[in-house]
Structure 1
């Protein structure tokens, strides 16, 4: 079944169907709800607006600590710019080998598409990332003008990094030459022209998000005490931990 992109904001590739499945209900997160990521937000907004205007824009890699808003930022971008023709196609890492066929079906449509791959990473020796490279940089055919790749990852270079890789580096005529393993790591992530780094929240940032989720609570001391204890149980402070705290304690402070 073909997708009506006029009313459909996003689609997900389903391997067993060998087709895209339309997604009608998107997480309604808005840009103004994402706190403590102003720098990342502004850069991705600027890049996306250039893309929508048909100006030069970059593929984007959002990397860093878990739960800090990487995926939510991309969803918020879609909600903000859907009316301007932005659409998203989500493709799982294991399905990237189908990416050339997916792109063939999108490149001539009158919409701007973001290929979204969440929690992207590869193990050494995997070859599925080659399809991703061809979409971003082209092969014998130029990359499509109406498609960009936005990916999230916990790894800056998308591949595992080992101490032995650094030991393969050599100094030749005073210049440092990385080993082949490092070259392979960097060659993939380097295709992304925009790198946005996300770091773990400190306590002040975490409590700022908690306060925004509980604007009606007067006893801030009790709220913060419970929120800090909750974060300790979760093993870290993040926007996701704050949301989970809200889910657990919204009735308590209701």
Structure 2
């Protein structure tokens, strides 16, 4: 390039490359969104039948996702509680099941927690697409002292002047029922003991469905192991499964899958 203007233009383009084109929100079953969308070719999720020990939760989630896919009224969902009990797996599996009848009806959009400040813009864009979307935030939590994040999400869920798109609903998983941290000292405020607590619970109250997940019993844990093992054609010993859970210090669907992974490895099987 001998022309100085051409060299300057090339340098500027390297510093500020062209923005990617608009997302094709009709082409994929799922997307990952972190300021920009990325299509996902297949949703990684177990079959609904393999998610055992959470039958009431499974019924609520799958019914709500089916309503959304059909274009009917549906709720935002908060799935909270024990780690490893299938909260995010259930959401993914429910969307995949809803896509079996018609893959174009609904898509899953997973949003990184750090991209929350762009959530309103994402929903505005999705509202213009002739498709239903379940926007999914996994393991959401806020640090102590962070009041801006929870209040922004709360305002968006309910109470804003702009109508929310009917074809988009939000699903959040969290280990905490209130999502934000709470402390016993909040209940001992001598001025107004309820204000601090009510303010933090207000975010969770914005979800139409708040579904709790609890640690499974020994029988439920063994049933989960048995379901995975049967689906993969693996034999297992109950005492070995219980010993595995004891060493892990927990009984959950995640621990059950880790044990089955160990069984497959010992058998020389790939998963």
TM-score interval w.r.t. the shorter chain? 0.7 to 0.9
Instruction: Look up the match of 2:152.
Output: 131
Aligned residues of 2:106 and 2:131 also touching (Cα < 8 A)? yes
Is the partner of 1:12 in helix, strand or coil? strand
1:92-103 equivalence runs, <5 A: 92-103=112-123
Is the partner of 1:196 in helix, strand or coil? strand
Q: Which residue of 26, 30, 39 corresponds with 2:43?
A: 26
- What is the CA distance between 1:138 and its match in structure 2? 4.9
1:233 aligns with 2:255: no
Distance 1:214 1:55, change over 3 A: closer
Aligned residues of 2:150 and 2:180 also touching (Cα < 8 A)? no
Aligned residues of 2:25 and 2:129 also touching (Cα < 8 A)? no
Q: Which residue of 199, 202, 207 corresponds with 2:222?
A: 207
Structure 2 unmatched runs, 5+: 1-20
Distance 1:253 1:166, change over 3 A: same
Q: Which residue of 182, 185, 195 corresponds with 1:164?
A: 185
> Residues of 1 paired with 2:184 and 2:151: CA distance?
25
Equivalent residues, number: 242
> Residues of 2 paired with 1:122 and 1:87: CA distance?
27
> Residues of 2 paired with 1:184 and 1:138: CA distance?
15
Instruction: Look up the match of 2:27.
Output: 7
The runs of at least 4 aligned residues of structure 1 exceeding 4 Å deviation read none
Q: Which residue of 71, 76, 80 corresponds with 1:54?
A: 71
Instruction: Look up the match of 1:173.
Output: none
Aligned residues of 2:79 and 2:211 also touching (Cα < 8 A)? yes
Structure 1 unmatched runs, 5+: 171-176
> Residues of 2 paired with 1:64 and 1:32: CA distance?
21
Rg comparison, structure with higher value? 2
1:129-208 equivalence runs, <5 A: 129-168=150-189, 178-208=193-223
Give the TM-score, by structure 1 length.
0.88
CA RMSD of aligned residues (A): 2.0
